[in-house]
């Protein structure tokens, strides 16, 4: 099901991409609930509570992040309840999207990890996964976001790497190639959910923008905030670096909604997106 572009532009402001085309792995689905009124329904999909926004028509819609790992061309269902006691199940379909594939042959020693590191990585991924699964009430964050910095895109979201003939995880964020020390601005207001250092992420900051929406900033030279700190749009949260599993300085920027990683460029205004042009070189190795 697709809705007119105008609906999405009105709901989210001027977007980089037409969100009626975002019902695919790594995208966002906007699912009307055929409900009106002053109080938003409560909706769930895959046991995750969903962000709710009102369309210009006055109808409520559920905003569903679709994981980059989601099965393409799959039927999905969400359920919702109203304050009046009404409940319903709403079906929607996930399409497909072809992401670029990069095939690399590298020395095995560059990818080999010892067991202690493998255990550390698993623990750290669990920490991030648990954090982005949280649902808080509205804390003033906005889905109309600015880019955290203006720089060339060095590795696009969804890039699928095949290293030594073995498929690896799709790229769960967008890499922006900026010099070490470049300040990174919060794209919208929120609260620092996590701040620390992980093996792959290096120094990182995870922002909670409310109602299940998070943004993640990795490989920082250093952060400028602490866990629990409130941030405003434009506030500096950290500085570009080359920490973690990287080959050079850049910002890895990710976005998650209802626990699902999706393309952060779907949050960016057309004005900012026009400045984030692809860099004419091979994507960053991660």
Q: What is the CATH number of the domain that holds 247?
A: 2.70.70.10
Q: Determine the pLDDT at residue 245.
A: 86
- Length of the chain as a residue count: 286
60 with 86, same domain?
yes
Q: Which letter does DSSP use for residue 267 in this model?
A: G
Write the pLDDT tens digit of every residue in 149-191.
999 999 899 998 887 778 888 899 999 999 999 999 999 999 9
Cβ neighbours for 225, distance < 8 A, ≥ 6 positions apart: 192, 195, 205, 231, 235, 237, 238
Write the pLDDT tens digit of every residue in 212-246.
999 999 999 999 999 999 999 999 999 999 999 88
Residue 9 CA to residue 52 CA, distance in Å, equals 16
- Please report the sign of the dihedral spanned by the C-alpha atoms of residue 104, residue 108, residue 109, residue 112: positive
Residue at token pair 């532009």: 9
pLDDT band at 107 (very low <50, low <70, confident <90, very high): low
The percentage of the chain sitting over the pLDDT mark of 90, rounded to a whole number, equals 66
Which residues face 192 on adjacent strands?
A: 207
169 with 248, same domain?
yes
Residue 97 CA to residue 101 CA, distance in Å, equals 12
Q: Which range, of 9-23, 44-58, 99-113, averages the lowest pLDDT?
A: 9-23
Q: What is the mean pLDDT of residues 111-130?
A: 93
The neighbour count for residue 200, using CB atoms within 10 Å, is 17
Which of 71, 93, 115 is the last residue in one of the domains?
93
Q: What is the mean pLDDT of residues 2-29?
A: 52
Helix segments in 169-286, DSSP class H: 270-273
Residue 209 CA to residue 231 CA, distance in Å, equals 10
Residue at token pair 């991660």: 286
266 with 147, same domain?
yes
60 with 146, same domain?
no
Dihedral Cα 227, 232, 233, 237, nearest 10 deg: -30
Q: Determine the pLDDT at residue 169.
A: 83
Q: Which domain holds residue 33?
A: 5-93
Residue 26 CA to residue 144 CA, distance in Å, equals 18
199 with 267, same domain?
yes
Strand order in the sheet with 48-49: 48-49, 42-45, 75-81, 87-93
Query: What DSSP element (H or E) covers 10?
Result: helix 5-12
Q: Determine the pLDDT at residue 280.
A: 52
Which of 93, 113, 135 is the last residue in one of the domains?
93
167 with 48, same domain?
no
Write the pLDDT tens digit of every residue in 242-283.
999 888 999 999 999 999 999 999 998 778 888 887 765 444
19 with 60, same domain?
yes
Query: What DSSP element (H or E) covers 58?
Result: none
Residue 70 CA to residue 73 CA, distance in Å, equals 9
Q: Determine the pLDDT at residue 167.
A: 82
Which of 37, 62, 93 is the last residue in one of the domains?
93
Q: Determine the pLDDT at residue 143.
A: 73
Dihedral Cα 13, 42, 31, 171, nearest 10 deg: 70
106 with 73, same domain?
no
Q: Determine the pLDDT at residue 174.
A: 94
Q: H helices then E strands: how many in the chain? A: 3, 20
Share the mean pLDDT of the chain.
Answer: 86
pTM comes to 0.86
Domain count, the chain: 2
Q: What is the mean pLDDT of residues 11-32?
A: 64
């Amino acid at each position: 099901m697709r809705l007119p572009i105008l609906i999405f532009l009105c709901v989210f402001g001027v977007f980089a991409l037409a969100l009626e085309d975002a019902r695919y792995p790594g995208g966002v689905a906007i699912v009307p609930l055929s409900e009106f009124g002053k109080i938003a329904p409560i909706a769930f999909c895959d046991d995750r509570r969903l962000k709710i926004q009102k369309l210009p028509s006055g109808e409520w819609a559920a905003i569903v992040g679709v994981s980059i790992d989601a099965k393409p061309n799959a039927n999905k269902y969400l359920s919702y309840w109203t304050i009046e006691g009404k409940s319903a199940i709403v079906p929607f379909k996930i399409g497909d999207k072809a992401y670029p594939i990069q095939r690399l042959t590298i020395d095995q020693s560059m990818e080999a990890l010892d067991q202690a590191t493998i255990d550390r990585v698993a623990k750290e991924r669990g920490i991030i996964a648990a954090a982005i699964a949280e649902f808080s009430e509205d804390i003033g964050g906005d889905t109309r976001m600015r880019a955290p910095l203006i720089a060339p895109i060095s590795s696009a979201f969804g890039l699928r790497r095949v290293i030594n003939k073995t498929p690896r995880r799709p790229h769960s964020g967008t890499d922006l190639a900026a010099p070490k020390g470049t300040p990174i601005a919060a794209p919208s207001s929120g609260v620092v959910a996590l701040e620390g250092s992980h093996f792959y992420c290096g120094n990182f900051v995870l922002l909670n923008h409310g109602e299940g929406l998070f943004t993640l900033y990795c490989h920082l030279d250093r952060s400028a905030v602490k866990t629990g700190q409130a941030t405003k749009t434009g506030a500096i949260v950290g500085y570009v670096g080359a920490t973690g599993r990287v080959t050079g300085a850049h910002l890895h920027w990710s976005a998650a909604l209802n626990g699902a990683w999706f393309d952060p460029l779907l949050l960016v205004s057309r004005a900012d997106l026009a400045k984030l042009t692809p860099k004419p070189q091979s994507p960053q190795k991660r």
